[in-house]
Amino acid sequence: MRDVAILGVGCTDVGEHWEMSIRDLLFKASRKAIDDTGLDDIRKIEGLYVGNMCSGLIQGQEHLGALMADVLGISGVPACKVEAACASGGMALHQGVKAIASGLQDFVLVAGVEKLSDASTPEATSALMMAEDSEYSAYVGASFVGLNALIHRLYMKEFGVRAEHIAAFAVNGHNNALNNQYAQYRFQTTAEKVLASPLVADPIHLLECAGNGDGAAALILCPLERAKEYSDEFIEVAASSVATDVFSLTERADMLSFNASRLAAERAYGSAKIGPQDIDVLEVHDAFTIVGTISIEDLGFVKKGEGAKFVHDGNISLDGKLPTNTFGGLKARGHPVGATGIYQIAELVWQLRGRAGKNQVEDAEIGLAQNVGGIGSTASVHILRRTW
Amino acid sequence: MRDVAILGVGCTDVGEHWEMSIRDLLFKASRKAIDDTGLDDIRKIEGLYVGNMCSGLIQGQEHLGALMADVLGISGVPACKVEAACASGGMALHQGVKAIASGLQDFVLVAGVEKLSDASTPEATSALMMAEDSEYSAYVGASFVGLNALIHRLYMKEFGVRAEHIAAFAVNGHNNALNNQYAQYRFQTTAEKVLASPLVADPIHLLECAGNGDGAAALILCPLERAKEYSDEFIEVAASSVATDVFSLTERADMLSFNASRLAAERAYGSAKIGPQDIDVLEVHDAFTIVGTISIEDLGFVKKGEGAKFVHDGNISLDGKLPTNTFGGLKARGHPVGATGIYQIAELVWQLRGRAGKNQVEDAEIGLAQNVGGIGSTASVHILRRTW
């Protein structure tokens, strides 16, 4: 089994891209990722993985693997779409890592793409609910935000946590997005403003939800032993791990912890031979403030029930103990579903390279990204490391 | 890199399964595949891949990986959906093979599932067209069968082939399906009846098209070196190869050959160190009679333009030179899109084990399965071998 490195990363702005289709977004991000490497010829790419969730329902387009090979002018290469709801990006990366680890391929392009703007609000609501149980949960009227609201309220009750503790997660994201040229929502906010924004599903406020946006992001992978030939700023993939949980939130023994995140993290720490205390910079899946909060706990940074206060006390800010979502997170960078897991990785790469501009975390050497699908039914955890 | 074996296979009937949902189909096929092995505990399974194309559009359900882990009672295991249009099954198998080849996993379950009966005819037409180019081809009114009809007519003109030569492919499939308990269309037909059936898109007749059906099929994979512990009838995966082609049929230099099939076959023959002359039993993707016909050529069995006459002369029948689609093929076994590539593999396994009943090909030792996505935009080629 071979070790794997990330050679290059690229992404589009996250936003409403009325002027671009899925193929345009994929092309733009991929081209930037390739240009970010020393690969002189795109035909060196031997495999493509595309993370995407909703293109079938929203664009009436599947088969994004072959489409993308065509868009890049390298038809012929093995290519497929990988889907694991909102964790499609992280899952696509996991498959790309396996392809190289197996020794079967040397240069692999992993992209994520989503275009939600093409959908009306009810369509987007239906599309996102495809991540949970259509036959039992959606059928009885549960929506994705509604189910997350159950967790949010239960968390507050169980741990005696106030609304502003949880809202703090959004404040951090918006602060960090201000300096991210790719972010969808580049404005600062406060816990007061978050809690004064309209309720989407009580107790979740509008400013606690990741918005609907369009975007694509891409990575170029290669064997670690060859990375130096093609980049002075390659980053090692020290661990790539995915796990699942009981599919439906309401059928789990415990709704306040995502077992998939715990499992994936445990395996990732094991394979990177490190622990939470070694992480310099973190990306977590804050589709809602409550999901970001619980994720901090699931990944082993604080005990269960202590996440909200940890966040509220400023620990995840750029100058805190655990700088988190340093480019804005899902909340403020935006959440183009199938691409989100790839944006997280690109942002970690910028941090570990020391290229995060005003949001640079000093001496960042090890980063962790957690990407969640459904309401915690799938999670991927990647640990990246600078080795130079 | 490790060699891979298939330990067990299982499938449901192909047909209109109004009584079963996607989860029920997945459960039934997977349970049968597990029971076909000596695995004493389903918790030995370390990874799941699910091939599916249309569940988002038709069932409003994505995230089939986590759903399936849940259905099997093994939530926790890494699981994802793999999509490559009608080649989703073959592509899922390819990923499963890579997972084991890499050394990362030992026991992997690969399933394919599709449920087309839930869609109305216009919905199913739209769903299938997601395999081709939504933005350019579907937008101008092209349908999946319409594009295949272009090839069909061009083939007849270019090679001076008559309609009954191409119709012969369907006759072979229906003959073979008669003894297949899982087949959707268990009746015999003749070239005359095929050509007397209604035109769907001139010159393609109804009896030249694979029907819309529901079904699931599953395989259990493990490292070849461990296969003997868990099955007396394991089959080696001698090659697993996928390739793509220019996405849109109408943008290709040559519409009468699928380059993805040629490429995937070339790589597969190379890695198995054999040639077409060594294949004892063949499964090709006859979504339409013309696709089956061209596939025989693309895989190197006859020269370009000679496929139709080769088939018409009886060479692909059970007692011919190249027994093909011995359980009925897409035409008569049925074509539950994302599951089709897995059905092909299950059927080859039965042949190589000597368990194909009345349709047994004598001394079958090496089999090849070709699964096509879109109009040849993706192809997978798997070569299976009995080593005992």
DSSP letter for each residue of B20-57:
--HHHHHHHHHHHHHHTS--S-GGG--EEEEE-SSIII
Residues 90-109 of B with CB under 8 A from A: 91, 94-95, 98-99, 101-104
Q: What is the 3-state secondary structure (H, E, C) of chain A?
A: CCCEEEEEEEECCCECCCCCCHHHHHHHHHHHHHHCCCCCCHHHCCEEEEECCCHHHHHCCCCHHHHHHHHCCCCCCCEEEEEECECHHHHHHHHHHHHHHCCCCCCEEEEEEEECCCCCHHHHHHHHHCCCCHHHHHCCCCCHHHHHHHHHHHHHHHHCCCHHHHHHHHHHHHHHHCCCCCCCCCCCCCHHHHHHCCEEECCEEHHHECCCCEEEEEEEEEEHHHHHHHCCCCEEEEEEEEEECCCCHHHCCCCCCCHHHHHHHHHHHHHHCCCHHHCCEEECCCCEHHHHHHHHHHCCCCCCCCHHHHHHCCCCCCCCCCCECCCCHHHHCCCCHHHHHHHHHHHHHHHHHCCCHHHCCCCCCEEEEEEEECCCCEEEEEEEECCC
- In tens, the pLDDT along A346-358 reads 999 999 999 999 9
Contact state of B130 with A60 under an 8 Å Cβ cutoff: yes
Class of domain B130-210+238-385: alpha beta
Q: Which DSSP category does B209 fall into?
A: B
Q: What is the rounded distance in angstroms from the CA atom of residue A379 to the CA atom of residue A262?
A: 9
**Which of left, alpha, beta for A334 (phi over 0: left; psi -120 to 50: alpha)?**
left
| Minimum Cα–Cα distance from B259: chain A residue | A76
pLDDT means per 10 residues, chain A with 388 residues, are 95 98 98 96 96 97 98 98 98 97 94 97 94 94 96 98 98 98 98 98 98 96 98 98 97 96 98 98 98 98 98 98 98 98 98 98 98 98 97
Topology adopted by domain A4-120+213-235: Peroxisomal Thiolase; Chain A, domain 1 (3.40.47)
Mean per-residue pLDDT, B88-99: 97
Active site residue A63: no
Report yes or no: B223 and B106 within 8 Å, Cβ to Cβ. Answer: yes
B residues 134-153 closer than 8 Å to A (CB): 134-135, 138
Interface with chain B: mutation pick from A21, A63, A381, highest number of B CBs within 10 Å: A63
Contact yes or no for A281/A361 (Cβ under 8 A): yes
Do residues A166 and A308 lie in contact, with contact meaning Cβ atoms separated by under 8 Å?
yes
Give the separation between CA A8 and CA A5, rounded to whole angstroms. Answer: 9
User: Does position B185 have pLDDT exceeding 90, yes or no?
Assistant: yes
B229-255 residue pLDDT tens = 999 999 999 999 999 999 999 999 999
CA-nearest of B38, B43, B46, B53 to B109 is: B46
Is A80 within 8 Å of B126 when comparing Cβ atoms? no
pLDDT, average across residues B197-203 = 98
Using CB atoms, pick whichever of A76, A244, A248 lies closest to residue B69.
A244
φ, ψ at B361 (rounded to 5°): -90, 125
Is residue B114 within 8 angstroms of chain A, CB to CB? no
Contact (CB<8Å) A64/B77: no
Distances in Å between the Cα of A110 and the Cα atoms of A50, A297, B343 are: 6, 29, 29
> In terms of CA atoms, which chain B residue is nearest residue A262?
B76
User: Is residue B24 packed enough to be buried (19+ CB in 10 Å), middle (13-18) or exposed (0-12)?
Assistant: middle
Looking at CA atoms only, how far is residue B59 from chain A in angstroms? 8
Q: Is B86 a catalytic residue?
A: yes
Residue B385: pLDDT over 90: yes
pLDDT at A1: 78
Long-range contacts of range A350-359, CB-CB < 8 Å, 24 or more positions apart? Answer: A350/A9, A351/A280, A351/A281, A351/A326, A352/A235, A352/A281, A352/A384, A352/A385, A352/A386, A353/A233, A353/A235, A353/A386, A355/A233, A356/A326, A356/A327, A357/A179, A358/A179, A359/A176, A359/A179, A359/A180, A359/A318, A359/A326, A359/A327
Give ranges for CATH 3.40.47.10 in chain A: 4-120+213-235, 131-210+237-385
| pLDDT at B1 exceeding the cut of 90 | no
**What is this model's ipTM?**
0.97
* CATH architecture, domain defined by A131-210+237-385: 3-Layer(aba) Sandwich (3.40)
Looking at every residue in chain B, the average pLDDT score rounds to: 97
Distance of CA A287 to the CA centre of its chain: 9
B246 vs A75, A130, A138: nearest CB: A75
Q: Taking the model in full, what pTM does it have?
A: 0.98
B138 contact residues in A (CB cutoff 8 A): 60
- Give the whole-angstrom CA distance, residue A234 versus residue A261: 27
| CA closest to A127 among chain B residues | B60
Could you tell me if B126 lies within 8 Å of chain A, comparing CB atoms? yes
| Residues paired with B108 in a beta bridge | B47, B221
Q: Tally Cβ neighbours within 10 Å of residue B306.
A: 15
- Under DSSP, the state recorded for B84 is B
Residue for token pair 């990407």: A371
In tens, the pLDDT along B302-361 reads 999 999 999 999 999 999 999 999 999 999 999 999 999 999 999 999 999 999 999 999
Task: From chain A, pick out residues whose CB is under 8 angstroms from the CB of B242.
Answer: 78-80
Helices (H) and strands (E) in chain B, counts: 13, 11
Distance, in Å, from the CA atom of B95 to the CA atom of A59, rounded to the nearest integer, reads 26
Contacts of B97 (CB under 8 A, 6+ apart): B4, B221, B237, B240
pLDDT in tens, A183-201: 999 999 999 999 999 999 9
Strand-pair partners of B122:
none
Cβ–Cβ pairs < 8 A, chains A and B: 221
Q: Which residues pair with B235 in a beta bridge?
A: B6
Does A243 contact B at CB distance below 8 Å? yes
Write out the residue limits of the CATH 3.40.47.10 domain(s) in chain B. Answer: 4-120+213-235, 130-210+238-385
Distance, CA of A248 to CA of A135 (rounded, Å): 11
Q: CB A244 to CB B23 under 8 A? A: no
Task: Determine the Cα–Cα distance for residues A191 and A167; give it in Å rounded to an integer.
Answer: 6
CA distance B62 to B75: 16
